[in-house]
Structure formats: structure tokens, C-alpha cells
Chains A and B, each alone.
Chain A
Amino acid sequence: MRLSLASAVATFCVALVLYPLLNGGGWFWGSLGAVLVVLGAGALSGRLALPAWAATLVSLVATLLYLTAVFTGTKAWALVVPTKESVLALGKLLATGWADIQRFAAPVPANAGVSLLTTAGVALIAITVDLLAARLRRTAVAGLPLLALIAVPATILPDPMSWPAFILAALGFVALLIADGRERISRWGRAVLVRRTRNATGGPRETTDTRGLRLSGKRIGFAAIALAILVPALLPSMEPVSWFTFGVGGSGKGGKGNSISIPDPVVALKGQLTLPEKRTVLTYANNDNQPRYLKIYSLNLFNGDRFELEPPRGAPENRVENGPLPRAPGLGESIPVTAVTTRIRISEEVERLAFLPLPYPPSVVRAEGDWRADVESLMVFSTREDASGMEYEVVSTEPAPKPEQLDASPPVQRTEANERLLRLPEDLPEEIRELADKITAKAETPYQKAVRIQEHFRDSRNGYTYSLQTQGQSADALLDFLIYSKTGYCEQYAAAMAVLARAAGIPARVAIGYTGGTKVDDGFAVATSDMHAWPELYFEGIGWLAFEPTPTANAPLGQGTARVPPYSLPQVQDSGDESAGTATGTPGSGEVPTGGTSRSRNIRELEEDRLAGLGGVPVEESVSPVLGIGIGVLVLLLLLLVPAGVRLVTRSRRVRSLGWKVSGPQDDVTARAARVSVPVAAAWAELDDVLDDYGMARQPSETPRALARRLTEQQEFDAGTAAAISALSQAVERVLFARDPGEVGPLGKELKLVRRALARTVSRRTRLRAALLPPSTMRRLRRLGEGLLDGFDRLETIRLRRSTRTQAPSGSEGTRKELVSK
């Protein structure tokens, strides 16, 4: 029974790690119920002494009844007995749940289907654990199903598992192991000790042995958990350094999850832009030989700090192989479009890319595998495939609106559908709104507003500077970029323009992908340094149009291969020479835009030029992995030095107290003794620690005098040292044991003499260890740890007595664990 209980608790503890995968609490209560049902079934089979296979059968049947009752109770006979209808309903619900899990990214909404799936899974795990641990007595193997359960969130979620959840799960398993150990020992019966002496009423030796045996398992368990938590936290990250990972959870081949996690495109962007080496990400060729931006992500959501990716939705019927993609949102029939066929080949070096880089708006994508389109954003993604090394073809329908069509686009009405594309947080700094109003004051149409906002960034009089030194991502940083520092890179430019556009009433989002890249023989090569963010603005009747506020290569600094779309330039050039320069430097409609090598230089080269010119303005991008490891090692070293530091502090404290002047004799013997005892005690403790450090620790039964004798003989002290140590020992003796300690001079000199003499006798290694990892301090630390463990043990014994009566597990985790360890 104890083992069944422990199995149930362990399963439930581990099931809690599913928490971040699911939205809502239905699955939680469902799983708890399932665990309890399995526990009850196990208890019943235990009472009836059924064989293992029958017990498993009973548990399975009980689980079925439970699931029927909870999920399809209305169709069942008397709520629990499954009927044909209820079984069919259960199956249907399971299919729905399965489809939901396929469709949604984590966290999945815990509707009935998903809850059923989760509950059934937890119940199956509970049955397996119960079978292994309680029936077959293979407790260690029972860890495997638990591990499988814990592996689900660990593989699906990009974030590491939160450590409290891990501790809880590990404690559950440890509790299971402890219960098993106790069960085994209790079968042997109590250890019988032959008492040899009449009057030995529990000598200390007899009792500690069994206690230690019982405690050691628990201690090892706790220590292992603590180490598992602490060591990875202290070590520098050991993740394989891939050149450009997208951090996208697509799971790759053999992954089990069908969901996709939300990547952090912004982080990927920054990571690729700051790579020390430029790598080719993809190459492409198209039929009109024009460079085009290739979009990977559309960040729709602005949370006040930054733009974020909405979980993409891709139903099976939206597979790209099923035919053309839906028409781009908002693209009116009257707008002329240019159909472009682009053939793209992704480099093998790319890792974990679950979204296809595509020119916007794609209409036909010919790619192998299960690629699905998100209907709204036209992102193409996969939960199973990895774009690495892929080659695919895409036909895009690029809108080419005429100027009058652009101007004719009416302001967007705020509706429920586009509300989130216009949403700005309530606490957006007022300055930003004011800035947006100021910029767009003279503009009449949304399109003109957009052009003016882009001009605001590109106009060199406004003083925006390109630099990869980021400001972080927050409302403050945005304000800082827009108003104060005006320094950032494409991400800041894109986000800032999108926010200003939203403030001006234009739906806006941030696109992340690659610029057109550099011209090579028969197409274009796109490198890591070409990764880019740009704003996309929505115009009624035209759809999403890309803008380019980031400085391009012809500006003093800028994204090398970025280019400004022709429609986004002001049609009336009224802003002076600078913008004219920009306009002329920008490729027009048809010419080869970035063919010149000087134009397409890597941003880093530009940075270096600038550094050379300015005489070394530090442009720090981010912490490189080497630096990270270095910091980690440094922290580790510092941690290792802690014992030495503690030792030094202790020593100096003692030496200070040694220096206290002991004034002349007083009548009051006790007062004098108390005064004298402080420095003597300090000297003695210091000597003790020094001996400990040098590996010649004083035996507990060794008196001061005996110690002095031993050291003098063993270490062959010269006369001076021998006198010093004997003076020390006699002072201690007098302070401790004499009625009147008498006069005790300062002992600092003697102590130093002895310490030097001792240091001479030991090997260099011992000396080094004494300095770096002094055993005396380690001993104290160990004792501290033991005290802590003892405290835990005592805590437990207190609880045990109370919990003997409450056998039924309650909902709270704490009381459940007590029961197990009972």
C-alpha cells in the first residue's frame, strides 16, 4: 500500500511539470482524479492479492470508468458504465484533442479533448509506475515512465524547465525510492543488536549505525537533487554553438511533439547580426533578377515592450501542396501585381528553421514536406520539418500600386479583426504619441503619413544613427531610441516606425527576414549579416506594404543590403538635398540595385571603418560565448576561493584578538581568567585550524601538552619553536584548568613561529591546499551542511507522528509527501 501511495504521489508530482504546456486547470483536476483512481484500484487489487497482470487490468478498467464518468458521463449508463455511445464519444473527443494538440502551439488551451488526452496519458503513466514499483518491485525502472512524462515539456518547450517543478518531480521519485527501501527493510524485520554489556543502555555506537543507514538514502537523494539544480546553474551554458540557430522549436526529425514553440525572432536576428563571421544562409534566383526581401516572421503583437510572434495556425488543409495560398489580405483586385517566381535554396548550416523565408506575398509554394501556411500572415511553417538544406520554389504576387491608388487608400476603421494590429499599450509614453502627431500633422492620407514617418527616420537632420549596440527592448528603450539616443539597428527602426504608424492609425507589424542579399553569378546570396527587420504597414485595398526606415548602405552607416521600396519615397521632394541623395542612391524600379561590392559591404566592415575613423569608439554588441565561458570560469574560481577567504577572515579576527593587551594582575581571579581566556582561546583555535589545514589535526583525546610533545617530536622542532608551542599549550592549560590562569603574554609571536615551522615540514601541495581549500574551513562548512540535514531530519520526525492518522491523501502536495516518507 505504501508503494502504491508513493507511486501515485511520484506520478502526480511529475505530472505537474505539464503545467506550462496547457492553459487552464481542467487537466490538473482530471489528472489528480486519474492518479487517485489508479491508486484506489491498486489498493483494491492489493487487498484482494491479485496477480500483477490482473491488478493492471483492474486499474485500466477503473481508468476507463473514470474517463467515461468525467468526460462522457451523460451518454454512459448510470454515469459510469460505458455504453456504445459513450465509447464513441470518448473516441471522438480523443480525436479532437489530438487535432487540437496538432494545431496549436504550446500552451495548448485545455479544452475537453486536450484534458481527456492529458488525463488518459497521466493515468497510463500512473498504471505503469504502479505496476513496476508496487507489483513487480522494480522501483528504479519505474523512473523510466516518469522520465518519459518529464521529457514531454522538456522537449517541447524551448525554455528550460523551471527548477521548482523539477525539484518537485525529483522529490516525488526520491519518495518512491525511499518507500521501496523502507518496504524492503521492513520485510527483513528490525536489525537485532546483541547487547554485550549489562549496563550498556544503548551505547552511542549501536544506535548511530542504523540511523545512519536510514538517513543516508534520504541525504543522498536530497544532495543529488541539490547538485542537479545548482551545478547546471553555476556552469556556463554548454549548449552547442551553432552558427545560426533560430531557436524555433520545430522539433526536427524524430521529435515527438506536433506543436511548435514560439521562437524569439528578435534574439535570432541580433544573434545573426553579431556573428563574428559572415555565413551564407541561402541563395536564390528569380525570373526578373531583382533582389527581394525574404520574410520569415511577421510579428503582429506589440506588448508594450516589443513586437512578438503570434502562434501561427496551420490546419492540415492549409498545406502548401494543396494548392495556391489565399490571396494576400487586403490586396484589392484593381491593384496591379508582379508575379515573380523565386527558387530558394537554404544552406545546410542553418539549424532549426521551421519557417520558410519567402518574398511577400507568396501565392504558390512548392516545397517537400508538411509545410502549412498561416492564412492571415502567409507565413509558411512546419511542426515537423526543418528547412535546413531545403530547396523550394515560390511564386509571389508583389503589389505594384500606382501613386493615386496609394493616396486613395482610406483610413482603416478600427474593427475587432484589426484591433490587435493597431493596439498600443495604455501606458505608452505620451512623447511617442506626440511625436507621431507632429510627424504626420501635415499628411492627409494614411499613405502620406507612412511616408512621412519613414522620412523621419531617414532624414539625417533628425540624427538617427545605426549601431548594433542595443538599448534593450522595452517601452523605455523605444522612447530612448525615438527621442533621446536615436541609436539602434534595424530592429529598433522597424519597431519604432511600426509603433509610430499605429499611433497614426495605420495597422503595422514588424517583419523579420533577410534583405535581398548580394548579387552572385546566377542569383543572389543572402548571408547572416543580411538578416533584417522592417515594418509592414497595412493600407485598405492594397494590403501590407514594406517600408524601410533603417539607413541603407549609402547612408554613413546602415544595413548594407537594405533598400528602400520606391513607393515609400516622398513623391514631392521637398525635404532638401539629403533626401534627394537618399533617393538617388536608392535603386529605382528596374536597375540592379546592390550589385556594387562597396554597397553590399558587411556591416561589420563598416563598423570597423568607423572605429578606425573615430579612434576607437567601443561598439560592444553582446557577450560572446568565449567571454561567457571565461566569466563562468571566473565565477567558479571565485567560488572556489570562498573557503580560503573565510579562512583568512577567521585568522585575522583571531590575530586581532591576540593582540589585546592583558593588563597587570587583578584581585578578581575570575575576571582575569575571563579576560585572558579570549586571546588564548583565539590562539588555540588558530593553532587547531593550522594543524587541521596541514593534515596533522589534533586528536580529540589529545591534551594541549600531549599535542606540544607530539609536534615537537614528530616535526623535530628547534628549541625556539618547541618553547613556543609549549608556551602556547601551557597557556591553554592554565586558562582551561587552573584556578588562576596567571599572567599570559601575547601569544601572536609564538603562534607565528609554530605556524612557520609547521609549514616548513609539509609538502608544497599540502601548503597550497591549506591556502586554497583549507580543511578546517571545509570541516566547518561540512558541519554546517550536516546541521542543515539534521534539521531536515528533525523536521520530518516531527511531522511523521502527526500524519500517522491521516491516511487518505489530500490535495495539498506537502501533506502528501509526508505520507510517503512515513
Chain B
Amino acid sequence: MAVTHDVTPDNPPRLEELVPTAHRIREAIESVIEGKSEAVRITVTVLLAEGHLLIEDVPGVGKTMLAKALARSIDCPVRRVQFTPDLLPSDITGVSAYNQQTREFEFKPGPVFANIVVGDEINRASPKTQSALLECMEERQVTVDGVTYELEAPFMVIATQNPIEMEGTYPLPEAQRDRFTARIAMGYPEPTAELEMLDVHGSTSPLDKLQPVATADEVRALIRAVRGVYVSQAVKKYAIDLVVATRHSPDLRLGASPRSTLQLIRSARAHAALSGRDYVIPDDLQDLAVPVLAHRLLPSVEAHGQRRLPEQVIAELVRRVPVPETRSR
């Protein structure tokens, strides 16, 4: 049992004080979305991991509701973009408009200039518009007419999309799906949750009652704290093992990218912090492997023919790849 402990020099903010904030956000969202604690947990994880979230499911299961609830529960600028086929890139990033009074071009920031951007039905926009958003996501900056505008942290895009089989959609290419840290599916609610939803939501929208439970500053502090969560060499190696396994799996045509390793570790840190731990354990990676890796992979022709989804392949790999060796030989 070789244990290596490297001590990071900078002293991150005290995790213990910040974790309650994260839990408040979770609880706030869960008060709106009944019975989807796993989805909510991953949403918060992605927020703390400085990532972007892709919510994919059939219409009407609460994708937008989740995104909005997250946005509402944090006291920060939130913008929402409804993607349509005729949406232009400048509708996302903003435009330079000529100001007749000042006689100058003036930059009108688009909806991307916010802390949380909800992109609804992103797959209905044209590829050109999609890529404009995705560029912002990756670089956290906007360049319009040669001027670069930094986006303020935290910056999180929550995109929803309908499954690609639906009509009138432009499915995201693999390269762009890779930019999302995680993808979750909402799934239909449990019957009991659905019943409760009818009782509660019947009269008023719970979103209206939702008050912000955290400030942007608090979220920024949380993100800094998460960065300081310790990842041992063994766990890093385990993450690499998992990712490499996707590259060698005969069921997959395209394995996971090195970027996905990075994002896996990042989100594992957030996941650990949400559990009140200041170190990552293999369980964090196992819990996150499907949401973080599955949407980046392409099944092989055979696996596709057998209707084996990448999610299933990943779950199987997780069951097969040995965890960091704990046996004494």
C-alpha cells in the first residue's frame, strides 16, 4: 500500500465552512425538482467544478426547470437563451452597435455575459450559433470585432437538448459535446414524485417562491476551495486507467479524450467536497464516470447494433477496472 502525500503549499479556503452553502443550493433546487437528487447533485458538482452541463431528455421532464432552479438559487446574473434555427451567433455573444449620440460603435453584451447561462434546446440552433456558444464556454471570453471581453466567474452554461432522434434538430458534434463536463438525463419522475408535483405545482410555480441561497462570491469561494481538494497519485492513476479503458474497449469507436480525464478529476474534486471530504476517493470517480464520460464516446458499429449504449459500456468498464491496489501482496 504505497501512499504518497504531496502537500499543496497554498492554503485553500476552509472547506468545512463552505460546504453548507453548497448543500443549501442543492436543497433549494431539490425543493423545485422532486425526486431527482442525483441529477441535482451532479448539477451542483459541475457548478463547483467550473464546468458546463448538458441536460438531455425528452421534452417536459423538467430540464429547463432544473436549469432555472439552479440559476435562481444563486444571487447572480442569469440569462436564458431559447435556441431556435434562426438564432444568430451575435444573438449569443452580443453586437457592436453604432451609437448615434457618441458616434462610436458600442458593444451590446449578449446573453452570454452572465454567471449562469441557460441554453434551452441547444440542438435546435444552427451549427454556427452552437459553435459560438461553445467557444465562449471553452475560452471563457468573447471576441467581437477584434475586442476580447472576459467573462466573469463563475461561468456556467446549462444547455438542454432533446434526444437527437427528434425532428428539427442539429445534433451536437462529438467535438462540441466534449466541451460539456457532464451530461445528465432527467428521466421520468417516480409516480409518487409526480403526484407530489401535481399537488404542489398545481396552483403556483415553485420557482416563484425560490429565493437565492448563495451569492456569487460564496460560489467563487467554494470553487477555490474545491480546487484545493487533494487527489492522491493512486486516484489519478485510477482516473487514467478508466479513461484508457474506454480507448481500448472494443465496444467503443471513440474513446475519451485527455480533456475528459482533466474534467473527471475536477468534477471528482467537487464531488468529494460535496461529500465533505478534502480528498478524492475512487468512489467519486465511479459515481461520475457515466455522466462525465458517456456523452463523449461513440459506440462501435457492433455495440450500436446490439443497442449497447455508451453508458452501459462505461458502467461495465467501471466494474472491470481494478481500483487502486489495496491488497497487500
Contacts and interface: CB of A to CB of B under 8 A. Distances in A.
Given A196-B300, A199-B248, A688-B327, A737 B281 contact: yes
B279 A732 contact: no
A629 B278 CA distance: 65
A196 B1 contact: no
B323 A705 contact: no
A739 B323 contact: no
A732 B324 CA distance: 12
B278 A736 contact: no
Nearest to A205: B250
A440 B320 CA distance: 91
Contact of A703 (B6, B320, B323): B323
Contact of A197 (B250, B286, B326, B328): B250
A217 B94 CA distance: 72
B3 A736 contact: yes
A735 B3 contact: yes
A738 B323 contact: no
Given A701-B323, A703-B283, A739 B1 contact: no
Q: Is the interface of B mostly helix, strand, loop or mixed?
A: loop
Interface in A189-218: 196-200, 203-204
B7 A669 contact: yes
A130 B241 CA distance: 52
Interface stretch (B118-126, B199-207, B228-236): B228-236
A704 B326 CA distance: 9
Interface in A714-756: 732-741
A717 to B, nearest CB: 19
Contacts of B318: 701
A199 B327 contact: no
B247 A199 contact: yes
B274 interface: no
A596 interface: no
Nearest to B228: A739
Contacts of B7: 669, 739
Interface string B202-233: 00000000000000000000000000001010
Given A196-B300, A685-B328, A738-B232, A703 B282 contact: yes
B74 interface: no
B320 A701 contact: yes
Contact of B322 (A204, A677, A700, A735): A700
Contact of B281 (A670, A733, A739): A733
A670 B324 CA distance: 19
Contact of A740 (B5, B286, B321): B5
A706 B280 CA distance: 15
Contact of B3 (A197, A198, A674, A685): A674
B254 to A, nearest CB: 8
A734 B253 CA distance: 37
A404 B4 CA distance: 104
B278 A739 contact: yes
A355 interface: no
Residue picked from A203, A684, A701, A704, most chain B C-beta under 10 Å: A701
Contacts of B326: 684, 688, 704, 732, 736
Contact of B280 (A673, A734, A737, A740): A737
B144 to A, nearest CB: 39
A740 B6 CA distance: 10
A197 B252 contact: yes
B41 to A, nearest CB: 16
A687 B245 CA distance: 28
Given A197-B250, A704-B326, A732-B326, A673 B5 contact: yes
Interface string B307-329: 00000000000111111101110
A685 B1 CA distance: 10
Residue picked from B3, B235, B283, most chain A C-beta under 10 Å: B3
B90 interface: no
A807 interface: no
Contacts of A793: none
A257 to B, nearest CB: 55
Interface residues of A, number: 36
Contacts of B6: 739
A132 B46 CA distance: 72
Interface in A646-698: 669-670, 673-674, 677, 680-682, 684-685, 688
A737 B248 contact: no
Given A196-B302, A681-B1, A733-B281, A702 B248 contact: no
Contacts of A670: 5
Given A681-B328, A738-B278, A703 B286 contact: yes
A428 to B, nearest CB: 60
B249 interface: yes
A12 to B, nearest CB: 43
A699 interface: yes
A470 B135 CA distance: 100
Contact of A737 (B255, B279, B286, B302): B279
Interface string B1-15: 101011100000000
Given A196-B302, A685-B327, A739-B278, A701 B319 contact: yes
Interface string B104-140: 0000000000000000000000000000000000000
A49 B3 CA distance: 66
Contacts of B250: 196-197, 200, 203
A736 B1 contact: yes
Nearest to B230: A739
A390 to B, nearest CB: 68
Contacts of B235: 737
A736 B249 contact: no
A739 B6 CA distance: 7
A738 to B, nearest CB: 4
A701 B242 CA distance: 11
Interface in A541-556: none
Interface in B262-310: 277-283, 286, 300, 302
A699 B328 contact: no
A654 B134 CA distance: 55
Contacts of A199: 247-248, 255
A739 to B, nearest CB: 4
B6 to A, nearest CB: 8
Residue picked from B234, B250, B253, B281, most chain A C-beta under 10 Å: B281
B283 A739 contact: no
A692 to B, nearest CB: 10
A17 B1 CA distance: 52
Contacts of A203: 248, 250
A200 B235 CA distance: 24
A202 to B, nearest CB: 9
Contacts of A702: 323
B253 A677 contact: no
Contact of A198 (B253, B279, B286): B253
Contacts of A739: 5-7, 230, 232, 278-279
Contacts of B320: 700-701
A682 B300 contact: no
A705 B286 CA distance: 12
Interface of B: 1, 3, 5-7, 230, 232, 234-235, 247-250, 252-253, 255, 277-283, 286, 300, 302, 318-324, 326-328
9 contacts: A197-B249, A200-B250, A669-B7, A680-B1, A701-B318, A702-B323, A736-B326, A737-B324, A739-B279
Given A739-B278, A740-B5, 8 more contacts: A197-B248, A197-B253, A200-B249, A204-B248, A701-B319, A703-B281, A736-B326, A738-B277
Nearest 8 CB-CB pairings of A with B: A700-B322, A685-B328, A738-B279, A739-B230, A681-B1, A196-B250, A203-B248, A703-B282
